[in-house]
Amino acid sequence: MSKNEAKYIPMPYKGRGSPMKEQFISPLYDAVFTHVFGNQRNIANTRNFLKALLDIPEEDFDRLTIKNTVLKPAFLGGKTGIVDLVLTTKSGRVIHIEMQVERANNLRSRILYYAARLLSEQLKKRQDYDTLHQVISILICDHQLLEEEESYYNEYVLRNKENRCFTDLLKVIILELPKVPGKEDSRVWPWLQFLKSKSVEDYRMLVKKHPEMKQATNCAQKFSLGDRIRTTILLRDMRRTAIRDREEYVYEDAQRKAQETIEKALKEAREEVRQEVLQEARQEAREQVQQVILNIATKMKKAGMSPGQIETLTGLTPGDFK
């Protein structure tokens, strides 16, 4: 699963043995997100979300099947991948949804790697390449990943320099929640507001304006309503996950900065050594040239040439040579 930290936690109990009221856990929390979208019993939520997001044939949504989220190694000793949600449509199209709360330096490479694996895993021995189905990887970020883009929705396919599409067999869609405006501007906007919700009141306000979101909010709330033991376990897991993910992020970031510092220091050291070597080489060359000129001047003098002639030809004064 993604490295997700539950930012919003359930409200505490009001006294011993009393039921929990208005309990809320963010839909960004792995377990809630999986319950709402990654459960075949709740596939209607996934279908409605994808219908609002994707421009694919309507009938393709008639049959959505949730698949195994473990990507087996492509070769002996290869890397195993675990994704958040994978499903196939009626036509065989593969849709991959990944939720990422914490920042990660390798996120762009990771989402592309997952998409490529989901494409390559489709073919068995002797199967033709024409049987490949489109893979759509959807990455939902609770932070800004694409600093260079203003829009919260960005779609990527393979294109040439003239912007002509080579193939849409592999498509990546990035959704950045912090960039989503407060005013509705698209069909997928209500779903992104659902994911951004921070309280039960946010759910109520959303459903009041968009009644079609009631099923998803109810599904999320039903998961949130539980006994004291389950809530305690959830809170413990959230804290452990948050601490582990933060430690991993800090470690990765420190490693990256240390590597950058080392590379910069090596580059500066190499340049310093290069300049010293060049300076020494120039000095040595000047000394060698000077010695050659002195030898020539000495031979000129022995041959009977006057000091004036030698000075004119070599630039040396009579005191510079024997």
- Tell me: pLDDT of 173 over 90: yes
Confidence grade of residue 83 (pLDDT, cut at 50, 70, 90): confident
Q: What is the pTM of this model?
A: 0.65
Of 125 and 249, the structure prediction assigns the larger pLDDT to 125
Q: Is the pLDDT of residue 88 over 60?
A: yes
Residue keyed to tokens 């195993």: 80
Pick from 24, 192, 4: which is nearest to 85 by CA? 4
Q: Rounded distance, CA 101 to CA 2, Å?
A: 8
In this structure, are residues 21 and 189 in contact, taking their beta carbons and an 8 Å threshold? no
How far separated are the first and last CA of the chain, in Å rounded?
86
Contacts of 289 (CB under 8 A, 6+ apart): none
- Write out pLDDT tens, residues 6-28: 444 444 434 444 444 567 888 99
Distances 171 to 35, 85, 135, 155 between C-alpha atoms, Å: 25, 16, 6, 7
- Hey, what long-range contacts does 31-35 have (CB within 8 A, 24 or more apart)? 31/223, 31/234, 32/220, 32/223, 32/224, 33/4, 33/84, 33/99, 34/1, 34/84, 34/85, 35/219, 35/220, 35/223
Q: What does the pLDDT read at residue 1?
A: 46
φ and ψ of 194, to 5 deg? -60, -45
Tokens for 103?
A: 């920042």
Q: List the chain domain ranges.
A: 30-226, 279-320
